[in-house]
Chains A and B, each alone.
Chain A
Amino acid sequence: MGHIKLAFEDNSEHKLRIIRGSSGKHYAQITNGAPFDIFLSADQRRPRRLVEEGLAKESGLTTYAHGQLALWSKQNNLQLNREYLLNTNNYCVIAIANPRLAPYGKAANELLSILGLESLVREKVVMGENIAQAFQFAFSGNADLGLVAYSQTESPNLRGQGSVWLVPSNLHRPIKQDMVILTDSAAALEFSSFMKSAVVRAILLTSGYLLPEVAP
């Protein structure tokens, strides 16, 4: 998001102020009158619900990116892959984001159930409230493995650290991330179209996301 802010402000007279937080919290704030112009959610459910509730227009709703799920370990030089995950003797604790709250958590759950691991690893799973916390559990070494966002493992501070496996996208349902315009301000419209520009698409790709129209 930091790169996108810089690129946007280079090309616009408007300034961008980013308010970070979980999608659920932002949803609650928006329904209670938070003065946001645009809402980039980590899922599709919450922006859609804002439209259904009349707090945003259908026309202002778009998918801006596809998230990718990754398996990450703090330990270097592990051969992380499907077989590593299937051999549950390899690890004692695996961190995921709460599947009820976070789309990456939901995808992680789908992966575990597709691999038939759901009941095998139930005792080993710890849940973060969001994907950032799931990553913290793995990053601090308290969890041997973490099912996290590929965008986290590819962030400039962490790239090259630990071991990572980009989970094939056919092993879980797509993680579509939607944004929705909340006001009629010119700045909101400008930013919304900027999110579809080549500049942003390049940033998304290098940050570990897939482009919105790519159906993985």
Chain B
Amino acid sequence: MLTQPDIAALLITLKLAATTTLILLLLGTPLAWWLATTRSKVRSAIEAVIALPLVLPPTVLGFYLLLAFSPDGPIGATTAAMGLPSMAFSFWGLVLGSAIYSLPFVVQPLQNSFAGLGRMPLEVAATLGAAPLDRFISVVLPLSKLGYLTAAVLGFAHTLGEFGVVLMIGGNIPGETQVLSIAIYDHVEALEYSQAHWLAAGLLLCSFLVLLMIYSANRRFHLMKTA
């Protein structure tokens, strides 16, 4: 059934998806808030940039990241100047790639959720004397629970199934950059079809459970609201 490297790949995949989702929620919150509230003219341009990873084929994105990570590339030169190891073939390189790749899946639900709040709750909180940060934490966050749930699950699930970006920048190092999708691909290429089936079934089941979780939470949330 599952071999030791397969289990390592599963763990790396979960760690990658969880880390990426956490980082995207932290960075995505101010970004989505700004997009939802600003009247700036550059808003549309920023929105378009955030949606770009949806258009670009993942292997293409991965290829350009690989070039950027090289010693002459912008990211590679920066990390070298800071005395950091290269991002290529490392777990943190994968996190960066996944964060770019899954960015729209986290920012867009958050932005929609923030925009849907309207100005009323915040203005009421302000008249009651709440400071901006307090307004955000005690008014916006609780009201945007569903948006956060959707963003987290979409970001997580999208990173679980990631293949092209990792293929290009990972280097297939067991326990470091060898993720589930790559392990499945390797099994197929090596004609080890039964192992590929086991892993693929595991990935499908995992994804199904994650999606089931969000949809049932979504339903319960709506029932609560209407009750």
Residues of chain A whose beta carbon lies under 8 Å from any beta carbon of chain B: 22, 24-25, 27-28, 46, 49, 93, 95, 98, 100-101, 126-129, 133, 136-137, 140-142
**Contact between B173 and A142, CB atoms less than 8 A apart:** no
Which 5 residue pairs spanning A and B have beta carbons closest together?
A126-B171, A24-B189, A141-B70, A142-B88, A127-B172
Q: Which residues of A sit under 8 angstroms from B89, Cβ to Cβ?
A: 93, 126, 137, 142
* B185 in contact with A129 (CB, 8 Å): yes
B191 near A24 (CB under 8 angstroms)? yes
What sequence of 0s and 1s flags, for each residue 74-107 of chain B, a beta carbon within 8 Å of any chain A beta carbon?
Answer: 0010000000001011000000000000000000
8 Å CB contacts to A: which residues of B144-173? Answer: 167-168, 171-173
List of A residues within 8 angstroms of B55 by Cβ: none
A201 to B67, CA, bound (A): 36
Are A127 and B67 in touch, CB under 8 angstroms?
Answer: no
Inter-chain contacts of A27 with B (CB < 8 A):
191
Q: A98-B172, A126-B171, A136-B66 are in contact. Are A141 and B189 (CB under 8 A)?
A: no
Contact A142 B66 (CB under 8 A): yes
Minimum CB–CB distance from A116 to chain B (whole Å) comes to: 22
Q: Which residue on chain B has the smallest CB distance to residue A123?
A: B173
Q: For B69, what are the chain A residues with a Cβ–Cβ distance below 8 Å?
A: 140, 142
B123 within 8 A of A: no
Q: What are 23 A-B contacts defined by CB distance under 8 Å?
A: A24-B190, A24-B191, A27-B191, A28-B191, A49-B191, A98-B189, A101-B189, A101-B190, A127-B173, A128-B172, A129-B167, A129-B182, A129-B186, A133-B168, A136-B63, A136-B66, A140-B69, A140-B73, A141-B70, A141-B71, A141-B72, A141-B73, A142-B70
B188 within 8 A of A: yes
Q: B66 — which chain A residues lie within 8 A by C-beta?
A: 136-137, 140, 142
Known: A126-B172, A133-B167. 15 other contacts (CB 8 A): A25-B188, A28-B191, A93-B88, A98-B189, A100-B186, A101-B186, A126-B171, A127-B171, A128-B171, A129-B182, A137-B88, A140-B69, A141-B72, A142-B66, A142-B70
Within the assembled complex, what's the spacing in Å between the Cα atoms of A158 and B168? 21
Closest to B63 in A: A136
B225 → chain A closest CB, angstroms:
48
Residues of B within 8 A of A133 (CB): 167-168
**Chain A at the B interface: SS class:** mixed
Cα distance A30–B61 in the bound complex, in angstroms = 30
Shortest CB distance B55–A (Å): 22
Complex CA–CA separation, A22 to B73 (angstroms):
29
Could you say which residues of chain A place their CB within 8 Å of the CB of B190?
24, 100-101
- Chain B neighbourhood of A136, CB < 8 A: 63, 66, 168
What separation, in Å, do the CA atoms of A90 and B40 have in the docked complex?
52
Q: With both chains docked as a complex, state the minimum distance between the C-beta of B84 and any C-beta of chain A, in angstroms.
A: 14
Residues of the A chain whose Cβ atoms lie less than 8 Å from the Cβ of B71? 141-142
Q: Which residue of A lies closest to B68 (CB)?
A: A140
| Docked complex Cα distance between A101 and B190 (Å) | 5
Complex Cα distance, B191 from A46, in Å, reads 9
* Known A-B contacts A93-B89, A142-B89; A22 and B67 likewise in contact (beta carbons under 8 Å): no
Min CB distance, A122 to chain B, in Å?
10
Residues of B within 8 A of A93 (CB): 86, 88-89
Taking a contact as CB atoms under 8 Å apart, the answer to whether A22 and B172 are in contact is: no
On whether the beta carbons of B86 and A129 are closer than 8 Å, the reply is no
Of the candidates A24, A98, A101, A140, the one whose C-beta lies within 8 Å of that of B70 is A140
A140 to B171, CA, bound (A): 13
CA gap between A129 and B167 in the complex, in Å? 8
- A residues in contact with B67, CB < 8 Å: 140
> Restricting to B99-152, which residues have a CB under 8 Å from any CB of A?
none
List which B26-80 residues lie within 8 A (CB) of chain A. Answer: 63, 66-67, 69-73, 76
Closest CB in chain B relative to A106 CB, distance in Å:
11
Return A100 CB to nearest CB of chain B, in Å: 5
Give the CA-CA distance A95 to B89 in the complex, in Å. 10
* Distance between Cα atoms of A98 and B187 in the complex (Å): 12
